[in-house]
Structure formats: structure tokens, C-alpha cells
Structure 1
Amino acid sequence: MSRPSVDAVAATADSLLAGAFDSAQMPDAVERLRQLFDGSKACLARLGPGLTAADAIATNSDEVMQRRCYEDLAEDFIRFAEGLRCVPIGSVYRDNALFGEAALRSSRAWQEWMAPQDMYGGLGCRLAEIGPSQWFFDVQRGQRQEPFGDDDAALLQSLAPLLRRIALVSTEMSQVRWQRDETRDALDAVAMAILLLDGELRVTYANAEAEMILMETDSPLGLHQGRLFARNSGDQRLLKQGVEAALRWGEQPLDQGRSSLLIRDRREGRPALSACLIPATPITAGSRPRRAMLALKRLEPATDFVAGCRQLFQLTEAEARVASALASGQSLTQAAAVQNVRISTARTHLARIFQKTRTHQQSQLVSLLRSAAQPLRSR
């Protein structure tokens, strides 16, 4: 065959590098390799235990034939992997010479998988050995094509270092994708909504529970052009301030008042959400996180206001009884009398309630409790 142009080789190398980081682009890269060698079929693959369809990228792929490779013919290909162990990493081989033409063509793998796909003479390179598995690249010539020559072998030898790096990076990226998918599955199983936000409130990730909340028409939170927003303007302001505070955590301690929010819709019958904001990335000296994590929990209606206060503000039973009395319009003296406690004890409870609700005056506290009452009522 005529030697490919420098531009063709460079374009193939660029395509391989893109495919190493984005598996969706790898089939195009392997197709470019096939064309580079004027082959009938090319394959970049792992051979070894536990073969799956994700372990090989092949050109001219037939789904039925590919499935056979990972099912009833898998043992034959695993044996081929063992035969590759005698080839030094980065070395080019011819499969007829390595396995013996007679032995190769008497195998089920050749008769039932390779020959039907016009794979009559292969040129390959062993790229890496990772545990019991072998990574290799193989390109085939058809029955009516000329066998690979020395120029073809020299070209593949020159590409071997790049192909080896591609195989190693692809393996690392597969592990990263597996860990990412495993993490997403775990987060989807959590009964809490998790979102990642940037400084403009753009949502870069949402688990299954968060997606459900954002799709609900009666949710206090929504999504507009990829940005999170609270339907209540006051909560929107607090949400924005909370994200900004989380993104400044590397420079100053996070204000507890900014990190915990009650997001509610004041329209009748609408549910409320308890929200917590923290940095989503590790903090190092002098650095700022790039994302904030928003954790949301639905506030289920409580059977009574006392239980609701305990749920919302982490009050004790006694503190919640005092808070409920104040919200109903009683004075602190009246609340103490009803609860059969001293006024000094009631004042102690009130001080702790102020601290937990981040309020400073009784009127402010009552306003907060009454505004929070709606989502706490029984259905």
C-alpha cells in the first residue's frame, strides 16, 4: 500500500487522543486507524477474564457477531490473550506467525467470527498488561487484499507508544466513569435531594430526588434555563446569599445562618423544603470551592404544631411547647403557667429557641413560627 500522508497520521493521532477521554469518539478513531492501514477491520481491545462489549472498539461492527465474541467464543479469545504474553509490550506481531496459520484457522474464533468478517491476515501490537488482561490493537486485511508489508509494520511500530498511552488512559477513564456511575447510583438511592450549583445558581448535577422536586409544579424550587430559582422572592435572595457564602468558605467561616434555609412557597397548600448549603469541593489554603452542594429535605406535615417545631428547628419537647404557645398568641408568662414551669425556666427555653431559630425578638420569633405553620399542618 502507499504510505499515508503526514496529515492523515496526525489526524488519526488527534482522534485517538480525543477518544481516550471521551469514549463516544473512540469508534471514529479506530475507523481512522483502519483506513490508515487500508484494513478490512480494526480493533482496539482488552482480552482477558470478564469480557464485555465495552472492552473492544471494532470497525464494521455487526451487533450479532460482536455479541458472539463476548459469549460462546469468549474462551477462544481469552486463550489468544495468553498467547500474546510472549510478545513484548509495544512490539508488533503478525497473527498468522504468532499463533501459526494452521492453528489459527482451525480455531472456532477464526472460522465463526474472523473469516465471516473477511479477516484473513492481521497485524497487531501488544499495548499493555493490566492484571490478567492484555490490551492490544489489531488490524486485518481481507482475502482479496495484499498481506501487510514491512512499511505497514513500521508504521504500526511508530504508533505503538501513542496507542499504549491511549490504552492506559482509556483504562483509567473507564475506572473514573465506573466510580462516577457508582457514586451517582448511590446518590440516587438517598432519600434526600442533592444538587451541585455554581455561583450563578446553574445546576451542574442533580440526583433523582432533586430532579423529582424540580419537576413538581407545586415545588418551592424550579429550574429556568439551567438555573435554580426559588418561587418566593425572599427565599431566592437567601438562596443566592447562601451559595455565595458557601463559595467563600475558603476565605471565611461559613455563617450558619446562610448555610441552613427554610425554602417555602407561601401559597396555600404548598410544601416546604429544608435546605443546607456547603462547599462541594475540598478546601485548601487560599483556594475557593468551584461548586456549592445544596441538600434538600421535604418537610412532611406534622400531626401537631409542637412536633412540627421540633422537626423544623431541632427544639426539645419543652422548647417546642413554649414556641407553640407563643405562636398561638400567649405571652411568655401564660406559656409558663400552662406548662407548669417557672418563668425563669420559660425564659431559658426562650433563649434557646432564639438561638436555634436565629431570631432575636419575640415578635420576630412568632412571625417565623406562624409563617412556618402552613407546611406543618395535617393533611
Structure 2
Amino acid sequence: MSDTERDIADCVGAVYEAATGGGDWRPAGTRICRLLDAQSATFRLGDGAGASRNVLSTSDDAEAAYIAYYHHVNPFMQVARRVFRRSREQTVGRVRRGEQVVPDADFMASEYYHDFARHHGRRHMISGMVGLGEATPLAFFRADGTEPFGERDVRVLQMLMPHVQRAVELRARLSLDRQSAGLTRAVLDTVPFGIAVVDAGLRIRFVNDSGARHLAGVDAGLHAMRSGPFAGTGVHLRATGRSGSATLRALVSSAVSGGPGGSMRVLSEDGSALAVLVSPAPHLLAAEIGSERLGNGPEPLALIVIRPLDRKDAPSIPMLCDLFGFSRAEAEVAVALFGGAGAEDVARGRGVSLVTVRNQIRSILVKSGAANLRDLERMMATIAASALQVR
């Protein structure tokens, strides 16, 4: 392998590292500049917030001036956008020298050259077009007093362009995957019951906020621990007692091996009980949270839903008012009844007559459409179980 081939291979590796690693493209830019004997480079990629920045250099006065005004009058970008819109297939991956894009006389006479390019070492340019939804030139520059880029430079950059294009496509795909995974976690954190995702060894791959609260403390019926039933690192899920742990392992084993999973009840030391429902994790959720097995798709994972059996969460007062048109007093009576109080208890606690409370109960049943108080309790339990916990 010649020195040039070795340098090109190093540049290719740096490009893919930038796309899949920490997102720092500057090492790749430095390597390619050295290979092309260029003094500077630009490659403007979206920053995820609707703007773009030159990922090949740190922000400086030239970057600030370009963003503030000179990108509007850059003749190379004007041509690039026009050609890209007309024929993306014939544009992407193609390398051209500056004078092949904009005639040298026109460039030298432009506002862009006189007021910007000549002050920032951008007399000569070579660029290759990258693009997904819009034209994205990868450009390298030499200053006044240096030789223009030649055919050797064109050939070298042409060899790199397919890799840069694939790296940009990979970056976009990984960004969407990360965004999707972040949205999944954010939504799961709002549900009012615990959710955990574990692998075959009971290693916890994800737990939402509610689930984390259920698993807190070694005296809980279900808890997280630093070691697990199988060798490896990480935090593992464990049920209280030998039989509880064996049952949990069996249910998870069923869920990750194509079976249905199942359910169990676990007791905490304070006597409270949890319902633990185990099922195969949905394919898309497993793909977002788990790891990819070579040639076999996402790693099979188990989805665990954790619900307290002895706690009744009532809907909020404003929610009942919005859903059924209750007055605030009626909503407060409905919540009190849901908590197990009788009409007499509610009247006593609110300091009103029993007749008033009974009239409010009749109004509550009419407005909600419930047949009786038991039916109302069922409706309120359904509403409470569906309410998102937005923080």
C-alpha cells in the first residue's frame, strides 16, 4: 500500500468515526486537508435545531461572517443549489475545481471574493457534492499565492466522496434512531404504572420513572440489584424470595424465547402487593433499546409491567370536571367516594348535610352516565389508569 492509499484509508476511517462516534468531524477534516494540501475546509451539516454549521472547523470570525451575510452571495452555493435541484443523481459524489463551477473571472469580480474569500484564504477551491435533501458541498481551500488544485487532487477527493456520502446517510439514520428512542423513553416516563425492559439474564435495559420508584429499596417485593443470576455486569431485576426469583426467571425466559410470558404477584415486607405482567417486548421497542445480533435482528427482550394491587389512584379534580362537566364540589365528592368513603363520611368530612351529598351523588351519576356508584368507580379507575403523568 502506497503512502497516498494509506492516507486515504485513514481519511475514510476518520469519516465513518465522525458519523458513528462522537460526531466530531474535525479530525477527518484535518486529515483530508493534509492529503490535499489545503489550508481550510467547509462542510455544513444540520445541527438538529434547524440550523447548519461547518463541522470541519471551530467557530471563528470567518464562520460568523459567512453565516451572517456571505452565504447569501456565495456564487458556488448558488450554482450548487440550482444544479442539485435539477439533477441530484448527476450531482452527488461529483468532484469539481472552483473554476469549473464558477468561471474564475466571475469569481474574482464577485462581492464574495473581494469582501470575504480573499481575506480568509479561499482563493482556490475544490469540492465534492454530498446531499440528502439539499445540496451539501464538501469544499477545501487554498489561499492567494498558492497553486490551484490539480487533477491529482480531484482523483483523491473523488475516491473519498462515496464514503462521505454513506457517512452522512448513516449519521442521519442514527440521528433518527436516537430521536425515536428518546421519544419512546419520554412517553414511557409519563405512564402511571411501572415499565421495565430486561434481557434473558434479567439485566435491566430500561425502566421508566414509575418503575424505578417501585424498584427502589431492598425491602420492595421487586427490586434492582448490582449482580444477577447470570455472569455479567449491570443492574438486574430480582423478586423477593427464592421461589419469587425462580418464577420471574421462568416468565422472562418464556417471553424472550417466543413464549407468552405470564404474570405473578410479589409481596413487599410491608405487606403491599405488586402485579408483575411479563410479555415479549414489541419488536420496535426491542430494536430501540436492545442490541443487534449479527444477522439475526434485535436481541429478544421482555417487557415487564408493574402495577400496585392495593393502591387506588383517583383521577384529578380538573380532569373529572373536564370529562363530565362536574362542578368542583361534585368532583371532590366523586374522589372521596372512590377512596372508599360512604355518603355519611363524605358529608361529615365536608361539613355539609347528608341531603346535599346525596343530591351531588345523583348529579354525578347523571352527568357521568354511570348506572351506580360501583359503575362510577370502574369508570374512574379506568381514567386514572390511563392518565399520563406529565412533569
Same fold, judged at TM 0.5 (above): yes
Pair 1:101 & 2:107 matched: yes
The answer on whether the counterparts of 1:281 and 1:290 sit within 8 Å (CA) in structure 2 is no
**Structure 1 counterpart of 2:55, from 45, 54, 57:** 57
Structure 2 stretches lacking a partner, 5+ long: 85-90, 227-232, 285-295, 314-391
The answer on whether the counterparts of 1:51 and 1:74 sit within 8 Å (CA) in structure 2 is no
1:304-343 equivalences under 5 Å are: none
| Alpha-carbon distance in 2 for matches of 1:181, 1:236 | 31
Pair 1:149 & 2:150 matched: yes
Aligned partner of 1:353 in structure 2 is none
**TM-score (ref. length: structure 2):** 0.59
Aligned partner of 1:31 in structure 2 is 30
Distance 1:193-1:145 versus aligned 2 partners, 3 A rule: farther
Percent identity at matched positions? 18
CA RMSD of aligned residues (A): 3.9
Distance 1:259-1:169 versus aligned 2 partners, 3 A rule: same
Pair 1:76 & 2:72 matched: yes
Distance 1:25-1:302 versus aligned 2 partners, 3 A rule: same
The residue type paired with residue 245 of structure 1 is S
Query: How far off is 1:138 after superposition?
Result: 1.4
The answer on whether the counterparts of 2:74 and 2:112 sit within 8 Å (CA) in structure 1 is no
Aligned partner of 2:195 in structure 1 is 194
**TM-score (ref. length: structure 1):** 0.61
Query: How far off is 1:259 after superposition?
Result: 1.8
Pair 1:297 & 2:303 matched: no
| Alpha-carbon distance in 2 for matches of 1:142, 1:212 | 61
Count of matched residue pairs: 283
| Alpha-carbon distance in 2 for matches of 1:278, 1:166 | 37
The answer on whether the counterparts of 1:193 and 1:207 sit within 8 Å (CA) in structure 2 is yes
Distance 1:25-1:243 versus aligned 2 partners, 3 A rule: farther
Distance 1:23-1:218 versus aligned 2 partners, 3 A rule: same
The answer on whether the counterparts of 1:200 and 1:227 sit within 8 Å (CA) in structure 2 is no
Distance 1:144-1:221 versus aligned 2 partners, 3 A rule: farther
Query: How far off is 1:245 after superposition?
Result: 1.1
Aligned partner of 1:244 in structure 2 is 253
Q: Deviations over 1:356-376 (max 9, x none)?
A: xxxxxxxxxxxxxxxxxxxxx
Structure 1 stretches lacking a partner, 5+ long: 304-379
Query: How far off is 1:190 after superposition?
Result: 2.7
The residue type paired with residue 237 of structure 1 is A
Residue 277 of structure 1 aligns to a residue in which SS? strand
Pair 1:227 & 2:226 matched: no
Distance 1:208-1:43 versus aligned 2 partners, 3 A rule: farther
Aligned partner of 2:160 in structure 1 is 159
Query: How far off is 1:63 after superposition?
Result: 7.0
Aligned partner of 1:185 in structure 2 is 186
The answer on whether the counterparts of 1:122 and 1:139 sit within 8 Å (CA) in structure 2 is yes
The answer on whether the counterparts of 2:95 and 2:126 sit within 8 Å (CA) in structure 1 is yes
Residue 200 of structure 2 aligns to a residue in which SS? coil
The answer on whether the counterparts of 1:47 and 1:135 sit within 8 Å (CA) in structure 2 is no
| Alpha-carbon distance in 1 for matches of 2:74, 2:212 | 43
Residue 189 of structure 1 aligns to a residue in which SS? coil
The residue type paired with residue 224 of structure 2 is G
